[in-house]
Amino acid sequence: MKNIHVVTVALAAVLMCTACNRDKLSETSIFENVPTLDTNSYTYNFDRFLYDSLLVPYNIAFQYKLGDETTDMDYNLVPCKYNLSQQVACAVKYLWIDVYAKQISPEFLKLYAPRIINVLGSPAINAEQQTEVLGVAEGGVKITLYNMNGFNLKNMAWMNQYIFHVMHHEFSHILHQTKSFPKEYERITAGLYDSQGWQYHSDEEAYALGFVTPYSMSEAHEDFVEVISSYITDTRATWAKRGFEMAEDHTHIVSMNEDQEGTTIIATKINYCKTWLREKYAYELDSIRAEVQRRQDNLSEEVVMNQLYKYYE
């Protein structure tokens, strides 16, 4: 069974996903005919990096060349610039793939991660609706990231908005659709979800009602994955706006404003997410957050790109 979710952010951005099938996942590669690397190609060194670092160990293909079979023809799209494709690939490996491989296991990624990460240079604009698609996830197999020609390795807020919040969000969908979703979670803010009007709420209004983002107000499953993704990627300053003080080392919540009902509700949701991930996947949400935040704090071009540069030596 497939479900299609469309996320619109206040007339500005859209995240679309065709949720993953509930079929049993397998470590078997979906890439029956892996192309032979062309040693004479201008892109050989980069392709070899992708082969060695993503495809072989994790069964993940990074697609950066524009093709009809990988592109939504409803939009006027251009490929991601070659140098930016290299930077995006290295950032995804450093800030997403390596985090899960280290904190959980490489096998966890090989079994559950999306099989294709597709990057496109231009934004996907719906002129009629005046919306922008941030990303598309298809069947738990492929994630497409748009507007990558705007990538800036020095702008962590941009990277989180266009890449990492999207990827943690969609990965969490794969996990909760693979193993049973905690039904008790749906009752925490039952009656407050607003599938038609969530985009008209401000961040502050969402926080006061017990939601981490306005989009999390759309329905319970989106709420669940927004809590996980926001917990991982959002800074201490953002969590302070929700009434939480995070530990300096990012490992846990130190305190919260219990006078604010919304904060208490969000804390309950966080605890449900932590417990469910731990019981179903031996996935420690605090450990993932701490590792991501540590890497974000120490981010530099040298740290991120050195993993590729050695292929040019």
- The boundaries of the domain holding residue 155 are 4-31+44-312
How high is the pLDDT of residue 20?
Answer: 39
Please indicate, yes or no, if residue 306 is contained in any of the structural domains. Answer: yes
Please indicate, yes or no, if residue 107 is contained in any of the structural domains. Answer: yes
CATH code, 217: 3.40.390.70
How high is the pLDDT of residue 132?
Answer: 72
Cα 73 from Cα 122, distance rounded (Å) = 13
Cα 45 from Cα 2, distance rounded (Å) = 38
User: What would the pLDDT profile of 278-289 be if each residue is shown by its tens digit?
Assistant: 999 999 999 999
How high is the pLDDT of residue 149?
Answer: 96
Please indicate, yes or no, if residue 194 is contained in any of the structural domains. Answer: yes
Please indicate, yes or no, if residue 152 is contained in any of the structural domains. Answer: yes
pTM to 2 decimal places: 0.87
Per DSSP, what are the bridge partners of residue 307?
none
Please indicate, yes or no, if residue 39 is contained in any of the structural domains. Answer: no
User: What would the pLDDT profile of 183-210 be if each residue is shown by its tens digit?
Assistant: 999 999 999 999 989 989 999 999 999 9
CA distances from 53 to 48, 62, 82, 92, 106 (A): 8, 10, 18, 11, 12
Cα diameter, the chain: 65
Nearest to 108 by CA among 185, 178, 51, 169: 178
Q: Rounded to the nearest 5°, which phi and psi values hold at 187?
A: -90, -10
How many domains, in total, are found in the chain?
1
How high is the pLDDT of residue 3?
Answer: 36
How high is the pLDDT of residue 68?
Answer: 57
Please indicate, yes or no, if residue 73 is contained in any of the structural domains. Answer: yes
Please indicate, yes or no, if residue 36 is contained in any of the structural domains. Answer: no
**Low-confidence residues in the chain, pLDDT < 70:** 1-35, 68-75, 126-131
Please indicate, yes or no, if residue 37 is contained in any of the structural domains. Answer: no
Q: Rounded to the nearest 5°, which phi and psi values hold at 245?
A: -110, 120
